[in-house]
Structure 1
Amino acid sequence: MPTFFLACALLGGGVVLLQLVATLLGLDHDAHDLHAPHAHDAAQGLHLGSLRALSAGLAFFGLTGYGLLRAGWGTPAVLGLSVVAGVAALVVVAVLLRLMLRLESDGTVRIENAVWQPATVYVPIPGARAGAGKVTLSLQGRLVEYQAVTGEGALPTGTPVTVVDVVAPDTLEVVRTPATPLD
């Protein structure tokens, strides 16, 4: 019986160690998880079937069983406590994986979020929608540059503007930002 528990501990611990090394070397791309496509969405529950969770559970099952047998505990108690330790490790790792996946962001900049945001003319914009210039603005925590048109008069470089509409997938409509009086 001790050999069985030791084998479980070595197998589970070995897989955990291999995953750690693969992660440190940049070879970890979630290909080891047993789940359906798009199961990386944190809203889909715990990843109890992931290789990380299963290998941690197996390692703790084996370590607990081996340790309790060496301490002189009886076989029924050792089996029961080992299963509890293995399941607890499996659940803890699955919960930690779920919490880490909540931190993920797809990073997609959504141009529609630019409406009513302040911007600055980067490349002069011809007036009366006669052509496009460019503006820069801070959008979703990053500095972005988009083509821009205006229905007003020409807007020179450096002019503060406000985005009022999205007219194409990569083009914004802007208006001159009114100057605010100084107090």
Structure 2
Amino acid sequence: MHDILVLYYSQHGATRELARLIARGIDSVDGCRARVRTVPKVSTVCEASAPAVPDSGAPYVERQDLVECAGLAMGSPTRFGNMAAAMKYFLDGTAPEWMQGSLAGKPACVFTSSSSQHGGQESTLLSMMIPLLHHGMLIVGLPFTEPALSHTSSGGTPYGVSHVAGSHNNATLSEDEKKLALAQGKRLAEMARKLAL
């Protein structure tokens, strides 16, 4: 069985929903299963720390999740055209995995959500790819052979699935966004399975 790590940070729930759908896409591929994890919020108070176990949702990621995964789907909300601080903070601490080559040669994809259509989704997706490339991961995009990518009027890019949450962060995922998230998870799992042969 190939475990694919679906690692995300979500503040209002949209990125978490994309992660859930990507996980379903992964689980649809024989011999693959999703391992869904999140990262703790970063506090501006130096003495503050997150509880050891989240109040709800996915468990926090552990270093062993990176070592054991056959692939990685990483998602973050867009913050000024970049990934959220919580995800960046986690990645900044992965030097031991980088030195050991724990992720080298494994496939990865990225996903995001923003409040507006022009909120920097593509630059966020590209910024998330950079540390993954440093880890030696193989980036799996979302090709235009996915019909929803050609006609979506909401989220979705060839760099990875995206969602437009709206100015009040209450817009539900469109049918196209859902299809693209499922397709991205399936594509990642199929690539992980091929690379494991």
Name the TM-score, length of structure 1 as normaliser: 0.26
Higher relative contact order (CA 8 A, sep 6+): 2
